């Protein structure tokens, strides 16, 4: 069904004068056409005489908008009727606890693959709520520089939990475990909608919106309905996935503005980018150019992740000294290349090149890297 948003989203991936290139790990930049479409109807959304933020979430037009967003997302991911899209709040941190509460807090086994900070946090939350959580694999001994490829899954596990992309260390699952003994559950907050997905082995995926989808405040959950129905009974309503399934995510007041922006992003991917296959090609090309610049610097820039596990979303690297890294960040910011600092727990440089990072943002960064090396190498 054609929508006003679809007709208003133009092509183009460039950057207008006055806007910086935002390499922040999150919240990240949004597609310029989405921002323009939202600005055009900020004061009068769909003829209601008020903004989307002022409309009731019970209004028929708002409910229709949320259902449009769900339909667009299911179309992008080719999800069948066995899946339900939920628009929730609480971020990935809420999901860390909510998943084991629903599926393993009765002391049941659940396996986690530890690839860094976020999977470790999820594992610890599962232990807190009473699940028999265990690591089936970990890359911690090598400082989380790679994605494991051998696993000690337990046959009685309720689910296998992974974090698809590690924003801190710059690693990413290129292929997921095939035919695990239990359904896969994944935190895909930082690479959601960056590529097509084969979801045949998955039962639940959650993603905070603030990397590839929209503003902070929205958490998207994809869940198989049969998996949800097998969850524990007697949970508080707001912590039970069935509550959100049965109410179409309208049990309480949802983050309406964030859902609206996410819906525009889904349409941008569909109508401007051309779908997830084309999005993946674009992301691969951006990352290759940046990694080639790192690898071709003669050691001045050093990638922190093993090449086979490198993230296409978060490119992490070091310079010869911390002092040069600080100087690099300061000079880059002066040229409109912002938020290139590594995560506070590890330092270094991190260029987050999510879906909405335009090609010329990456090219401008590479040009600056060449200049900086020549001036300081």
Closest CA to 243 of 254, 252, 255: 252
Average pLDDT (16-43) is: 92
- Residue 225 sits in a domain whose CATH number is 3.40.640.10
Last residue of a domain, one of 235, 252, 270: 270
**Partners of 350 in the β-ladder:** 316
Active site residues: 118, 187, 211
Last residue of a domain, one of 246, 270, 294: 270
Count structural domains, the chain: 2
- Residue 297 sits in a domain whose CATH number is 3.90.1150.10
Q: Is residue 133 part of a domain?
A: yes
Q: What is the pTM of this model?
A: 0.93
318-352 per-position pLDDT tens digit:
999 999 999 999 999 999 999 999 998 899 999 99
DSSP SS3 for 313: coil
Q: What is the DSSP string of 268-288?
A: IIIIII-SHHHHHHHHHHHHH
Q: Is residue 40 part of a domain?
A: no
Q: Is residue 95 part of a domain?
A: yes
Same-domain pairing of 94 and 142: yes
247-297 per-position pLDDT tens digit:
999 999 999 999 999 999 999 999 999 999 999 999 999 999 999 999 999
Same-domain pairing of 108 and 230: yes
∠ at Cα 263 (58, 360), nearest 5°? 155
Domain that holds residue 162: 45-270
Same-domain pairing of 263 and 281: no
Same-domain pairing of 254 and 370: no
Same-domain pairing of 129 and 224: yes
Q: Is residue 49 part of a domain?
A: yes
Last residue of a domain, one of 243, 270, 297: 270
Cα-based distances in Å from 182 to 101, 109, 159: 17, 10, 5
33-85 per-position pLDDT tens digit:
999 999 999 999 999 999 999 998 988 999 999 999 999 999 999 999 999 99
Same-domain pairing of 69 and 156: yes
Same-domain pairing of 348 and 310: yes
Same-domain pairing of 100 and 137: yes
157-178 per-position pLDDT tens digit:
999 999 999 999 999 999 999 8
φ, ψ of residue 139 in degrees (nearest 5): -105, 15
Same-domain pairing of 62 and 210: yes
């Amino acid at each position: 069904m054609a929508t006003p948003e679809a007709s208003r989203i133009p092509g183009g991936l460039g950057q207008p004068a006055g806007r910086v290139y935002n390499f922040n790990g999150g919240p990240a930049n949004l597609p310029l056409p989405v921002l323009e479409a939202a600005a055009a109807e900020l004061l009068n959304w769909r003829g209601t005489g008020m903004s989307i933020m002022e409309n009731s979430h019970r209004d028929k037009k708002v409910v229709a908008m949320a259902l449009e967003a769900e339909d667009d997302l299911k179309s992008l991911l080719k999800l069948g009727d066995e899946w339900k899209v939920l628009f929730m709040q609480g971020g990935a941190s809420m999901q860390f606890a909510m998943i084991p509460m629903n599926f393993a807090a009765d002391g049941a086994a659940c396996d986690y693959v530890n690839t860094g900070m976020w999977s470790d946090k999820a594992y610890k939350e599962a232990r807190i709520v009473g699940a028999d959580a265990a690591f089936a694999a970990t890359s911690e001994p090598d400082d989380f520089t790679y994605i494991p490829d051998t696993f000690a899954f337990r046959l009685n596990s309720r689910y296998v939990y992974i974090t698809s992309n590690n924003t801190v260390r710059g690693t990413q699952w290129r292929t997921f475990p095939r035919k695990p003994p239990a359904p896969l559950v994944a935190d895909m907050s930082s690479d959601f909608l960056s590529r097509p997905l084969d979801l045949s082995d998955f039962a639940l995926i959650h993603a905070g919106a603030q990397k590839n989808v929209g503003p902070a405040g929205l958490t998207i959950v994809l869940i198989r309905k049969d998996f949800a129905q097998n969850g524990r009974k007697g949970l508080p309503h707001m912590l039970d996935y069935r509550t959100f399934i049965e109410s179409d995510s309208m049990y309480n007041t949802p983050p309406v503005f964030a859902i609206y922006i996410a819906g525009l992003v889904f349409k941008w991917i569909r109508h401007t980018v051309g779908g997830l296959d084309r999005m993946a090609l674009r992301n691969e090309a951006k990352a290759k150019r940046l990694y080639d610049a790192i690898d071709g610097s003669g050691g001045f820039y050093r990638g922190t992740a093993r090449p086979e596990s490198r993230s296409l979303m978060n490119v992490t690297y070091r310079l010869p000294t911390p002092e040069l890294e600080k100087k690099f960040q300061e000079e880059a910011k002066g040229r409109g290349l912002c938020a290139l600092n590594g995560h506070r727990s590890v330092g270094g440089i991190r260029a987050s090149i999510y879906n909405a990072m335009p090609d010329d943002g990456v090219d401008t960064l590479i040009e600056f890297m060449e200049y900086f090396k020549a001036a300081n190498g």
